[in-house]
Amino acid sequence: MAQEYRLILQHADEPGYTNDIECYLRHGGYEGLKKALALEPKTLEDGSVKSGPEQIRDEVRTSGVRGRGGAGFPAARKWGFINHNSGKPIYLICNADESEPGTFKDRQIIYKDPHQMLEGTIIACYANNVHLAYIYIRGEFHEGAEILNRAIREAKEKNFIGKNIQGSGYDLELYLHRGAGAYICGEETGLLESLEGKRPYPRIKPPYFPAAYGLYMCPTIVNNVETLCCLKHVMLMGGAEYAKLGTPNNTGTRIVCVSGTVKRPGYYEVEVGKVTIRELIHDFAGGLPEGRSLQAVIPGGSSAKVFRAGEKFQIKKKAGDGQETVEMDLEDLPYDFDTVVEAGSMSGSGAVMVLDDSVDMIEAIANIAEFYAHESCGQCTPCREGSLWLKKALQRLAHGRGRKEDADYILRIADNIPNGRTICAFGEATAWPVQSTVRKFREVFEARGAEDEARRARETEGAGGVGKEMDVAASSQP
């Protein structure tokens, strides 16, 4: 039976654990930060001096921590793009705009252990010579914002934020900034525009890579809440020790959110790659409702490509000195960054959505398409027009107005959105679930279209040749 490995959530659900600073300090809070601040400059063999912040960056590199927000990009490499000699201030933003459907891990941290997130953020700021940082929290987290504001106040009172932190000479201001209901603000450049008070239109890259031209056109780091929490543990354990958690290149722990048609939906912190999708569904989430069988798994938030139950994948594995390819069943896939990508999808934000055979896949994908149509910012053509077109087409099919050719029709719309055609990855997020669902469940789409056509033909005959108007205004109702 697979087990959780609680590192970040070590205390969060303990009885009596509260989200105030006193409780956090009683549980060893801010020790990671103190350790970071206490690092003395180190003279290397070649005579050069490595500052404390540089040593922290090295530890993070050693730890192998990868971004927990969606892209899985190594945190140290992201930091490595920052030019520390540009003469401009460097900003850091904690991305607490958690909104990828299926994801609810940051919420646990923010609500239950906010100081851990602050500690990670302050360590990251210190490591990157940041003196002004923001937490961008989604607008709907009203209470989360209150909790964080209180936590910031407490941390200021204890001099973990502010001037000359813990006597180290390091200054940092940290403020909370609230969004107002827009998924696109989770995209880092959309977030920056939003934080600048503009419409959150993602920026074109090139030239506006945040590390070079971020907030106010200054070098900027945007890290996810969970990623920043990892840093506290990297600091306390040391990078090498941290890297022993998880699997090679997929180090540490991850909070995996399991939802959908499972008996015990919830969040489970596990070592990355040490549990399989089957274990996530069955051991942690209690399996499917009685009498139900698995139909599909969305492995990394709604943006990820859908897996169909029974799918087999060719996965490369280390074998002795070389590599071998093994065939793996969907449920046997280890839940990590690399294997899920190799299987053609992604672990994204760590959200596993499970759909049993009671779910109509057409309605399910119409539901996801509605989300993207609603959240598309509208800046660039393929996403703006394509996301709504997909929603309309899928809802038409979901509401009995399908056509035989709709599978191809929908695929051709979806195929014209991703792969660099849009300004940001929202294009991919819109297209991938649709492309994968239609391709993998093609017979379902074709049968539905044919059924609808046949029924309409009968109705038309009965009604003396008058067909019903297409109704595309209604929404999907799974």
CA 383 vs CA 55, 122, 187, 457: distances in Å: 42, 36, 14, 34
Cβ distance to other proteins smaller for residue 34 or 205: 205
The vertex-371 CA angle with 368 and 374, nearest 5°, equals: 150
Which residue blocks in 163-266 are alpha helix, DSSP H?
188-195, 210-213, 225-237, 239-243
- Residue 372 token pair: 């993207």
Cβ closest to other proteins, residue 157 vs residue 196:
196
Please report how close the Cβ of residue 305 comes to other proteins at its closest, in angstroms.
15
Least Å distance, CB 220 to other proteins, is: 13
What DSSP character marks residue 215? G
Exposed / middle / buried, residue 357 (Cβ in 10 Å: 0-12, 13-18, 19+): middle
Q: Looking up tokens 């998924």, which residue turns up? A: 183
Minimum separation from the CB atom of position 217 to other proteins (A): 11
- Shortest reach from residue 102's CB to other proteins, in Å: 5
**At its nearest, how many Å lie between other proteins and the CB of residue 48?**
25
Q: From CA 4, how far away is CA 354, in angstroms rounded? A: 19
Question: Running DSSP on this structure, what letter comes out for residue 41?
Answer: P
Q: How far apart are CB 190 and other proteins at their closest, in Å?
A: 11
| Alpha-carbon distances, residue 460 vs 17, 33, 452, 454 (angstroms) | 66, 72, 12, 10
Cβ contacts of residue 248 below 8 Å, gap of 6+? none
String of DSSP letters for 47-78: S-EE-HHHHHHHHHHHHT-B-SSSS--BHHHH
Q: Which amino acid is at 362?
A: I
Closest approach of Cβ 393 to other proteins, in Å? 6
Q: Which two tokens stand for residue 20?
A: 């105030």
Name which of 36 and 110 has its Cβ closer to other proteins. Answer: 110
Q: What are phi and psi of 82, to 5 degrees?
A: -75, 130
Please say which residue, 451 or 471, places its beta carbon nearer to other proteins: 471
- State the minimum distance, in angstroms, from the CB of residue 113 to other proteins: 16
Residue closer to other proteins (CB basis): 53 or 260: 260
For 156, other C-beta atoms within 10 Å of its C-beta total 15
Q: Are 141 and 108 in contact (CB under 8 A)?
A: no
Record the tokens describing residue 147, joined without a space.
């909790």
- Nearest distance in Å: CB 250, other proteins: 23
Nearer to other proteins, 29 or 144 (CB): 144
If the CB atoms of residues 245 and 256 are measured against other proteins, the closer one turns out to be 256
Measured from the CB atom, is 41 or 378 closer to other proteins? Answer: 378
Kindly state the smallest distance separating residue 181's Cβ from other proteins, in Å.
Answer: 4
> Of 76 and 365, which CB lies nearer to other proteins in the complex structure?
365
Residue with Cβ nearer other proteins (107 or 232): 107
Structure tokens at 208: 């506006």
Evaluate the omega torsion of the peptide bond into residue 202 and state whether it is cis, within 30 degrees of 0: no
Q: For other proteins, which is the closer residue by CB, 37 or 390?
A: 390
Q: How far apart are CB 47 and other proteins at their closest, in Å?
A: 28
Element (H, E) at 254: strand 253-260
